[in-house]
Amino acid sequence: MTKVNQENNLSEVKVRLDKWLWAARFYKTRTIAREMIQGGKVHYNGQRCKPSRMVEVGATIKLAQGFDEKEVTVLQIMEKRQSAPIAQTLYEESAASLEKRAQNAIARKNNSFFAPRPEHKPDKKQRRELLKLKSS
C-alpha cells in the first residue's frame, strides 16, 4: 500500500468518541472517558453526546481534564492507543483554549499564596495543644 492510500484508510476509519479520547490520551481508560461523556463533561461540536458517537475529522471537542477545560479540533482518527507524541498529532488545541488554561494556571498559583500552609506537620505536643484549643 502506498503512503497516500494508508492516509486515506486512516481517515475512513470509524471510531467511537470514548475510544478516540482514550487513544488521544485525554483519559487513562476508556471507562473514564465514557463516564466523562455521560456526565456531560465532553461536548462534541457544541452538544452533549453519547460515548458511541462516531468521531469525524474536523469536529470540535470540548472536554474537561482535571482542573482544565480544553477545546480541540480532530485532525486524525485512530482507534489504537499509541505513544504520547503520536497521540498529540491526532488533535490541535485552539489558541483560545491554550490562553485560558494558562490564565487558570496562573490564577491557581496565585491563589495558593493567599492560603498559606505550615512548613511541616505538627508534632505530638503541638497536636495535643491544637486539640485542647479546639475542644475549649
Distance separating alpha carbons of residues 73 and 105, to the nearest angstrom? 22
pLDDT of residue 4: 46
Q: Is the pLDDT at 108 greater than 50, yes or no?
A: yes
**What CATH number should be reported for the domain holding residue 70?**
3.10.290.10
Range of the domain at 112: 3-135
Grid cell in block for residue 111: 491563589
114 three-class SS: coil
Which of 60, 80, 84 has the alpha carbon at shortest distance from 71?
60
Q: What is the pTM of this model?
A: 0.75
* 77: three-class secondary structure by DSSP: coil
Examine the pLDDT at 129 and tell me if it is beyond 70: yes
User: Which tens digit of pLDDT belongs to each residue from 7-44?
Assistant: 555 556 899 999 999 999 999 999 999 999 999 999 99
pLDDT in tens, 80-104: 999 999 999 999 999 999 999 999 9
- Domains held by the chain: number: 1
